[in-house]
Structure 1
């Protein structure tokens, strides 16, 4: 299929590369189908809506940046995404890109969970967790005093 995307222009997308988000994404509940695109030579990905060109989320693998990050999948999530093995699970967090880039934040409270085998996905809201919606992706540099 031919797809119009926010960041990649027009692309050809095989049908088997479409991920189903049966519950949509909070704030975008009507968006049920997405594709996952790489963002050039970066550690970032784009979760692009199949239906709406302007609905595209920049994401990254949180475990590459936040070493102590933990996500506990509930039985409901495992069931709804048809997850049978740990190897099927891919986790991303949505970024809020800022200018300058070092102000960019990651939403650790609501990761995107994908079953890479069944091509299903869901945004998991981890209510009551220690994580928030605006964790700085790049820690601010510590100013050093004069020696």
Structure 2
């Protein structure tokens, strides 16, 4: 299947990359179908709307940057996404200048069921995590600067 994106032009994707978000993503409730585009290397991917070619979200595996990240997915979300064994958790990234000031949303992870191809951005109401959590832990940012 071919999709149009404003950032990368026409991309060929498989049906296996399409996820349905029945309730959309908060702030974009009308957007219910997204393609999950993986980068060949690294923990980053894009969620690209199939309806709005200008809408995409940079997402990442939060456990790569914050191995201690943990939360309990509400049973209502488990039921809604029909999660049994497989689940993918991603966080939306906000890029900033300079890049070491970039953040990720640990308060509202994107939860994907790779079996049913459904997804949801769920808000963790009883969490100490932030919507603008530093992408790099302070010691990682220091190591990154030293290596430059």
- Give the TM-score normalised by structure 1: 0.89
Runs of 5+ unmatched residues, structure 1: 143-147
**Cα RMSD for the two superposed structures:** 1.5
Superposed counterparts of 1:1-147, under 5 Å: 1-85=1-85, 88-138=86-136, 139=138, 140-141=141-142
What count of residue pairs does the alignment treat as equivalent? Answer: 140
After superposition, the C-alpha distances for 1:9-43 in whole angstroms (9 at most, x for unaligned) are 21122233210000100000000000110235332
Measured in 1, the distance between the counterparts of 2:107 and 2:24 equals 17
Higher fraction of helix: 2
For residues 17 and 94 of structure 1, the distance between their equivalents in structure 2, rounded to whole angstroms, comes to: 18
Deviation at 1:117, TM superposition (A): 0.9
Structure 2 unmatched runs, 5+: 144-148
Which whole-Å deviations, capped at 9, do the CAs of 1:20-76 have from their partners, x for residues lacking one?
000100000000000110235332100111111111000110111111101211111
Contact between 1:61 and 1:93, CA under 8 Å: does it hold in 2?
yes
Q: Which has the larger radius of gyration?
A: 1
Secondary structure of the equivalent of 1:83? Answer: coil
